[in-house]
Amino acid sequence: MDENIAIGRAQKLLKDAGIKAAPVDVETLAVFLDFKVSRVELPDTEAGSTFIKRGQKHILVNENDSPLRQRFTILHEIAHHVLELPSKHGDKVPADELERFTGRHPEEILCDVFAAECLAPWALIQPMAEDKEFTLEHLGELAEHFQASRSCIASRFAQASDGHLAFVVAEDGVVKYSIVSKALREARVWITKGIPLPQNSAAAKAYKAGISGPHEADIEGTDWSSSDNARRFACYEQATYHAPTRQTQSILNFEELDQRPVSNGYRAKHDDDDLLEELDGRPGWSKYR
Ligand SMILES: [Zn+2]
């Protein structure tokens, strides 16, 4: 099974259950599939569990988790059922696993993909990804709208946008997950899993500082990508660091650099342009569409 199948099944489930608006009613989906959902006290290390008792399918969710987390846990469990992927974590979902990448089975990641499609369905997020800028602020608004985590929304946004952008998650300073938008992929720029965070990146600085919170950086496309085509781009990054999981999330907006041939006359004019633009406090290339 690949991600497209997982996504297709999620879309079919939403359609069959008649769900068309955000925030997606996760309980309705569970009931539609004959699950009984109960919020109960579970150890901190456990996000949820699922089992069948006297013919009734149950999902238990840790009542101490945030409502967003509970929504994701329920959908992750539903995914195991719909995708018919046996759980690699037994009946219980460990709290430190969901939406993380280190040491996880591909089946578990597919279940997260399914959950993300349910939380931020393509048909709903795609028009918003065209309208809105890829910034922490707007991702925060969308996370609220969809009642999903910011990382879930950022992935979906990058998939749906027609801009040059990417979303990168690193753990312990190493890139674990990256999604580049279609336009960036078509420009033949990619970000490889397993590489250390670029030294000048906001994420690397955030990780070294070890303090949760937002950081930003203006760097080169080639800092993020080993692709020759990355030379055509500069990159504006907003990053956040989450100390408990040692995870950084980077929101990358790539701006295509001017491709015109460099002559002396043109060069002088170009430098003037840069100076003029800097007066309003933004580097020329980082202006948003
Ligand atoms: Zn699982």
Q: Separation of 56 CA from ligand 1 center, angstroms?
A: 19
In this predicted structure, what is the pLDDT of residue 98?
60
The pTM assigned to this predicted structure is 0.81
- 99 closest CA partner among 32, 149, 173, 37: 149
Average pLDDT over residues 216-234: 96
Mean pLDDT is lowest, of 165-179, 196-210, 257-271, for 257-271
Q: Separation of 133 CA from ligand 1 center, angstroms?
A: 33
Q: Please, which pLDDT band fits residue 138 given cuts at 50, 70 and 90?
A: very high
- 9 closest CA partner among 82, 71, 108, 85: 82
Q: Separation of 156 CA from ligand 1 center, angstroms?
A: 20
Report the mean per-residue pLDDT for the chain.
87
Q: Separation of 14 CA from ligand 1 center, angstroms?
A: 20
Q: Which residues pair with 48 in a beta bridge?
A: 61, 93
Q: Separation of 47 CA from ligand 1 center, angstroms?
A: 10
Residue 186, pLDDT > 50, answer: yes
Q: Which option is the CATH number for 3-119: 1.10.630.10, 3.40.605.10, 1.10.10.2910, 3.90.480.10?
A: 1.10.10.2910
Q: Separation of 52 CA from ligand 1 center, angstroms?
A: 16
Q: How far apart are CA 94 and CA 100, in angstroms?
A: 11
Helix axes 3-16, 67-82, angle to 10 degrees: 100
Q: Separation of 80 CA from ligand 1 center, angstroms?
A: 6
- 69 closest CA partner among 112, 36, 31, 14: 112
Q: Separation of 41 CA from ligand 1 center, angstroms?
A: 19
Q: Please, which pLDDT band fits residue 273 given cuts at 50, 70 and 90?
A: very low
CA dihedral 130, 140, 72, 168 (to 10 degrees): 70
Q: Separation of 32 CA from ligand 1 center, angstroms?
A: 20
Q: Separation of 108 CA from ligand 1 center, angstroms?
A: 5
Q: Separation of 101 CA from ligand 1 center, angstroms?
A: 13
Query: How far apart, in Å, are the Cα atoms of 202 and each of 224, 252, 286?
Result: 11, 10, 15
In this predicted structure, what is the pLDDT of residue 184?
97
CA angle 66, 71, 77 (to 5 degrees): 125
Q: Separation of 208 CA from ligand 1 center, angstroms?
A: 31
Q: Residues 68, 148: contact at Cβ < 8 Å?
A: yes
- CATH 1.10.10.2910 boundaries in the chain: 3-119
- What per-residue string of b and e applies to 261-275 under the rule 16 or more CB within 10 Å gives b? eeeeeeeeeeeeeee
Q: Does 96 or 262 have the greater pLDDT score?
A: 96
Residue 272, pLDDT > 60, answer: no
CA dihedral 165, 108, 141, 63 (to 10 degrees): -160
- Which residue matches tokens 């910011």? 150
Q: Separation of 69 CA from ligand 1 center, angstroms?
A: 14
- For the record, the structure tokens of 243 come out as 């100390």
Q: Separation of 16 CA from ligand 1 center, angstroms?
A: 23
Q: How far apart are CA 2 and CA 8, in angstroms?
A: 10
Q: How far apart are CA 100 and CA 176, in angstroms?
A: 9
Q: Separation of 265 CA from ligand 1 center, angstroms?
A: 61
- CATH 3.30.450 boundaries in the chain: 125-257
Residue 241, pLDDT > 90, answer: yes
**With respect to CATH, is domain 125-257 assigned 3.30.450?**
yes
Residue 268, pLDDT > 60, answer: no
- Which residue matches tokens 């950022």? 154
In this predicted structure, what is the pLDDT of residue 266?
46
Residue 280, pLDDT > 50, answer: no
CA angle 167, 176, 47 (to 5 degrees): 95
Strands (E), 85-191: 92-94, 165-171, 174-180
Residue 262, pLDDT > 60, answer: no
Q: Separation of 92 CA from ligand 1 center, angstroms?
A: 8
Average pLDDT over residues 185-203: 96
Find the farthest-apart pair of alpha carbons in the chain and give their distance in angstroms, rounded.
Answer: 82
Q: How far apart are CA 279 and CA 169, in angstroms?
A: 33
Question: Is residue 23 reached through a cis peptide bond, with omega within 30 degrees of 0 on the bond before it?
Answer: yes
In this predicted structure, what is the pLDDT of residue 212?
83
Q: Separation of 252 CA from ligand 1 center, angstroms?
A: 29
In this predicted structure, what is the pLDDT of residue 86?
82
Q: Separation of 115 CA from ligand 1 center, angstroms?
A: 11
Q: Which residues surround ligand 1, an ion (CB under 5 A)?
A: 87, 108, 111
Q: Please, which pLDDT band fits residue 100 given cuts at 50, 70 and 90?
A: low
Q: Separation of 97 CA from ligand 1 center, angstroms?
A: 9
